[in-house]
Structure formats: structure tokens, C-alpha cells
Structure 1
Amino acid sequence: MARPRTTPRTVDHPELSEVSLQQALEALADPVRRMVVCQLAQAGGEKGCGTFDTPVSDSTLTHHFNVLREAGVIRQHYRGTAKLNSLRDEEMDARFPGLLSAVVSAAQAEV
């Protein structure tokens, strides 16, 4: 009996040329999403979905990850069963110069 062929799970990401400034700003306007962005900036690399410190449920956090991904702010990929997140900071800086660093700096100053 043949084993079913498995394909790796993938996540779709927009081209940043397709993301409007309005979409990026709306994604970054939410305080929970800013928390995610700040935690990714502090991590300086990848962070698993279950490792974020936020005041929302896992299902709500999944929604926030989707909004950030669809706005081009984060990149997600699977490593085994873990879904990892990273900032698209260089790409975002090329599209919207200084936006992410300004948001991160302002959010950290509020704390």
C-alpha cells in the first residue's frame, strides 16, 4: 500500500508593490499588532506563533498575524509543524522608508 504523498505547507505573501500605504498603516494601527511587530524587532529574527506575549487568545492572534502578513509587514513559513514569523523590514523599508522603525521606536517609547 502506497503512502500518501505529502506536500509542504506554504503561506502566500503579497508583493509589497501591491500593498498600499493605507493597508500598511491600518495593519500597524492596532496595539496588538504593534506588540507583535515590536517583539519581532526585538527578537531580530524568527519567532514561533506560540511564543508571543499578547493579551489575546490564540485564534485572535492568528487573525492579527494574517492582517500583518497580508499587509506585507511579516513573512510566515513552516518549519515542521511550527509556523515561524519574521519582519519583512528590509522590504518594507524599501517600499515605505522608515515606517517600521518609526512605529517600533514610537511603540517602545510608549511603554
Structure 2
Amino acid sequence: MSSFKDQRISRRDFIRRALSTGGAVAGSVALPGMLMPRRAPAVVKASRPMLPYGVGSGDVVGDRAMIWSRSDRPARMMVEYATTKSFRDARRVVGPAALADTDFTARVDLSG
């Protein structure tokens, strides 16, 4: 019986065998994932940003008002307002982004 030391192979054969073995292992791991159909998760929950401190208003004079709020994450401020109680003439103003550098706060100066 020959010992392990007697079983020498050339560097070229070693690299060839190592690459073929690695390819077989990689193929056995990659192929099942590639062949199996991928499915979306059963429940996808996307939540809207929250306003933990509510909405503030100030500097209300005549036909102007300042509206501000703070979000719990980066978000775009959108203000919907009306000049009647029925809210039939509602208007929407797309305001600035509430980002980390403003501590997730944003404000809109409404006029008219």
C-alpha cells in the first residue's frame, strides 16, 4: 500500500482538479436556486410615514398660514387644504422632503 506522500501530482493537475471540484460544488449550490421558481413573500406590508407629533400650524393671518410637521422617517410632505368646511375645493401642495438633516421636519407656507 502506498503512502500519501507517494501520490504526487503536478501543479497543473492539482489546479485542474481543484477547479473542477469547486465548480461541481458551486453548481450544486447555485443550480437548485436557479431552477426553483422564486415567489414573493405571502404578506408585503408597506407602511406610510407616521407623524408622531401631529401637524402644527401658525402665523395664520388673512390668506396665509404656515404648516409644519415631523415624520418618523424620510418622507415628502404633502398638505391638502380647503377654504370651505365641506372641503369641496380641496387643494394639494407638494412640499419639501423631511430628511435626517432637518430632523425629519418639513414646513409649507400656504398663501392665497
Q: TM-score, normalising length from structure 1? A: 0.23
Instruction: Answer 1 or 2: higher relative contact order, Cα 8 Å, separation at least 6.
Output: 1
Structure number having the greater strand percentage: 2
Q: TM-score, normalising length from structure 2? A: 0.23
For the pair shown, which has the larger CA radius of gyration, 1 or 2?
2
Structure number having the greater helix percentage: 1
